A and B are shown apart, each in its own frame.
Chain A
Amino acid sequence: MSEKFDVIVVGAGPAGTACAYLCAKSGLKVLQIERGEYPGSKNVMGGVLYRKQTEEIIPEFWNDAPLERPIVEQRFWMMDKESTVTFGYKGLEWAKEPYNNFTVLRAPFDRWFAQKGVEQGVLLINETVVTECIVENDKVVGVKTDRPDGEILADVVVLADGVNSLLAQQLGFRKELKPDEVALSVMEVINLPKEKINDRFNLEDNQGCTIEIFGDSTKGNLGTAFLYTNKDSLNIGVGTTLSSMMNAKLKPYDLLDYLKNHPMVAPLLAGGESVEYLAHLIPEGGFHSVPKVAGHGVVVVGDAAQLVNAIHREGSNMAMASGKMAAEAIIKAKERQDFSEASLNKYREALYESFILKDLEKYKDAAHTFEHHPQYFNDYVPMLNQAMSKFFTVDGTPKREKQKQIVKGFTGEKGTLNVIKDLYRAWKAVK
């Protein structure tokens, strides 16, 4: 007979570790299973870790965790072929405690975070794949692994196995993902001396900057690119929905090189040395793609539950928060010794009452709208660039005349009614 745990957590990303940490802290016997060589070795993100949802697990983590830079400036570029319209905010309130968010490298961060769980009593086993959930009488009672005699039992199994979550699929909690529900992202980490980063991005040592790039960064396809500052390196990446990549017959690494060589981007990277190349899927189906998240003896958290707000590039915070809510539901279920779906549905209720599902609901039609109306990226970004160019080029034309020309530029090309329709549709999708 194999050993039995209170909780088995599958996966050691932010969601799984948040859940494992809190369960162990409250005295539960927790096994965490990670398929990689170490936590973080299979995990990828652009690099923004949010303070609020992380400190709710580990207060003042910034004194201890391997972070890169606190982000003090967030820029947004609407980029055309040889120009860009910039919008952004820089605030030094974000440069001091308690901070707003940080750039991180996931391999060191996830490793540190999982170690915090181990210090609370989590038994962490690396290099082990959970091949399936053991189901008896419709109830999940444990997991099978790829180790010899690898069956382990638990009252609750937490699926924190990432975007592909083959386990959630095995249980029938969701169907196979579709190409328009995921974004394929590729990125490079590029080493650059700290002084160069500070100079190029107008930063002090302990300040970071993020740039989200729309438009020509994806050659007009539905997606975004990003450029984030680490201490001594930059993360540069680009992603589009897999369906867009298929329709446009794009090779993701070609798109990344296109971005790196773009005249708006290249000077920021010049002289840098690429040190790692990474590819990953981001669950971007939003509200409609969230699977069943609680069943008899099982809950689903983080990317496995498709909890990503693509519009605001929030995911790691939702992972942390969902892991915490799952832990709270499991701790209560343990007090009642009731691990039924009804009992674990406290997690589902908490999730739907929180910012997570409220935000996903707000943007539930956004991806669909922008995927099916490519004019937002294809037409309006270049038009906006042309308008700005016209307005700021001093050529003796009176400003009122310029304004007229700009408005005519927008409505003349598409027709006034179509512009109004497009504006209304976009507003409806994000309101």
Chain B
Amino acid sequence: MSTSTIEEKQYLTRFKADTKSHLTIVNHEVCQNNCPEKFCTIFCPAEVYKWEGTRMQVGYEGCHECGSCRIGCPQQNIKWEYPKGGHGIVFRLA
């Protein structure tokens, strides 16, 4: 079967999540007050970011570690680190 949703896509990929997030919203109020577009909720290829009305939920466990959110956040409001060694996404193929 080919996939048709992001959930199905993410299910194909292996993750070895750390217990601690490697992605941090510096200030949730900046998301709420200064960022009407909330671009990260649109372009993140793994739908890591979800706006929950008053704060940004960060599902770091499914992160592909691409770096888009760090570069694309218009407010530079995302602290982006690599997950601890050996953790995070594990590509098996390409």
Contact = CB atoms under 8 A, between A and B. Distances in A.
Interface of A: 35-37, 40-45, 47, 105-108, 126-129, 145-147, 163-164, 166, 176-179, 182, 184, 186-190, 233, 235, 242, 245-246, 249-253, 257, 260, 269, 272-281
Interface string B60-72: 0000111110111
Nearest to A269: B2
Contact of A163 (B67, B81, B88): B67
B94 A274 contact: no
A129 B4 contact: no
Contacts of A272: 2
Contacts of B16: 37
A252 to B, nearest CB: 5
A289 B86 CA distance: 30
A182 B71 contact: yes
Contacts of A242: 43, 68, 71-72
Contacts of A187: 94
Kindly list the 9 A-B residue pairs having the minimum CB-CB distance in the complex, ordered from nearest.
A127-B86, A279-B45, A277-B9, A279-B64, A164-B67, A127-B85, A128-B85, A252-B45, A276-B93
Interface string B2-28: 111010111011001000000000000
Contacts of B66: 184, 279-281
15 contacts: A36-B88, A44-B94, A127-B86, A182-B68, A184-B68, A187-B94, A188-B9, A245-B43, A251-B6, A257-B3, A274-B1, A274-B3, A277-B10, A278-B94, A281-B68
B85 A42 contact: no
Contacts of A40: 91
Given A41-B91, A188-B3, A281 B86 contact: no
Contacts of B9: 188, 253, 274, 277
A193 to B, nearest CB: 15
A280 B64 contact: yes
Given A257-B4, A281-B66, A275 B93 contact: yes
A268 to B, nearest CB: 12
B35 interface: no
Interface in B69-94: 70-72, 81-86, 88-94
B71 A277 contact: no
B2 A177 contact: no
The size bracket of the interface on B is 35 or more
Which of A45, A182, A249, A253 counts the most B-chain CB atoms under 10 A from its CB? A253
Contacts of B82: 35, 129, 166
Contacts of A280: 64, 66
Contacts, number: 143
A42 B66 CA distance: 9
Contacts of B42: 245-246, 249-251
A274 to B, nearest CB: 5
B89 A107 contact: no
A176 B47 CA distance: 23
A252 B43 contact: yes
B91 A274 contact: no
B31 interface: no
B46 interface: yes
B20 to A, nearest CB: 12
A115 to B, nearest CB: 17
B68 A235 contact: no
A257 B85 CA distance: 32
B70 to A, nearest CB: 8
A50 B81 CA distance: 32
B39 interface: yes
A386 B64 CA distance: 39
B18 to A, nearest CB: 11
A246 B43 contact: yes
Nearest to B13: A277
A251 to B, nearest CB: 6
A177 B71 contact: yes
Contacts of B85: 35, 126-129, 145-147
Nearest to B7: A253
A197 to B, nearest CB: 15
B55 to A, nearest CB: 21
Contact of A277 (B3, B72, B81, B86): B3
B91 A42 contact: yes
Given A126-B86, A242-B68, 13 more contacts: A35-B85, A40-B91, A42-B65, A105-B93, A107-B92, A126-B85, A129-B85, A184-B68, A188-B2, A188-B3, A279-B64, A279-B66, A280-B64
